[in-house]
Chain A
Amino acid sequence: MTPLALQKLRARVPGCELLVYTDLQSRTVLGSDGALRYPQEHLDALCLCAADLFDVTGHAPKGPFSHALFFGAGGGRGFFRNGADPGEALCCICALSVDVDQLVQVMNEALGAESSGHE
């Protein structure tokens, strides 16, 4: 997913402040786009969090999860696994006011398009 694609994708979700595309297996950041310039450590931390989360939920009954949403009083994070390539995922930092259904729909559409583009 190119930086431009990430930029366009982030613009589609009001309240999405940072978007990171990650390789879960190597635990590396493949690309990012943010409202602010986030330090690399911040991006790496989000990537590691996604990897841990999908690793943990990989042990869940009825299989792994396609996405997870995490919120605290100050805002949230979304983690969306690429169904066609489960080793990759989109992660985002978003405002508490985000429309979660819209967030999930837009991210899943983007991952679907990304998978199609690879084929």
Chain B
Amino acid sequence: MRKIAIRSAIAACALAVAGAAVAESPDDGLQQQANAAMKGKTVAYVPIAMGFDLTEAWAAGMRLDAAALGYKLTIRDPNWSVDNGAQAISQLISEKPDVLVVHPPEIQAYTRLLQQAAAAGIPVITMNLKSEANGDIYIGADWYDIGVKQAEAMVKACGKDAGKNGQVAVMQGVLTNPTSQFGIQAVQDTFKKHPEMKIVSNQAADWDASKAHAITATVLKANPDLCGIIGFWDNMDVGTAAAVKEAGKTGQIALITSGGGNQASACDNVANGNFSTYISYDAKGQARDLMMAVRSVLQQKPANPGEKAIGLYTPLRTISKDTLYNGACWNLDDVKKYGP
């Protein structure tokens, strides 16, 4: 009786071992070595700040991968402070992560630091705000292209073919930011081909919805015939839209903005008429791009980090009431929960 018990226990053990062996996937010749290459490595992420749609979506992707693939993700949140960001990057250079993901707040701010990172042999991925230093991979929007698309949409809405006067106001964010540097140039270049288009007001609101609201309220009073407003970021332009609404001009004034395509700020505002056209750089898609870029760098580190950059420019999506299909936007809570 006892023997039988021992035997059956041994048999059960053997079965369990066999079962475990079956659950492990067979070697397809790549998968196991790919996973092994990523396991135990460290990915460091320095966004402008956590806590808003873009940076949270990107982080969600990497968190998912970190759990699934066994790499370590460190997030250093400088909370909109360029100094804190620079400190975090210097600190990380000495910690030598296997990949450094940086979201630069200004064109020049981190140039030196990213060169130092490259010199220390750390591969760098820069996110969405094209700066002087590209790192090894740039994932993000082509800001000039966004400006062109916004300006062209504006010509369509306010140009002479639409029978309008072409009076446009521009609401920039932070002037040292690439969105402004390339964006305003694109708008001006595009308008040159359409002499009827005229920028009657060109102001900056520091990405602050409240400031954008105040400036827009004044601009609308000063330019009663204003036909359209080009804004540079949806999260700021909710303030612009609120001022247009207060003036009772929602729908009459074309408000064309851009952003990461988050449902709450993008599609909801297109649906209710606050934004007439929205150029989305689909931060959920970028999050997926980032996941894959990190995977690829972890598996094969560039021979000489910083030597040659790869540009992964985000495909842009133009959202207006006519193109507001189900799934044009994404939901931050869902992305946080289920990944990009």
A, B in one complex = no
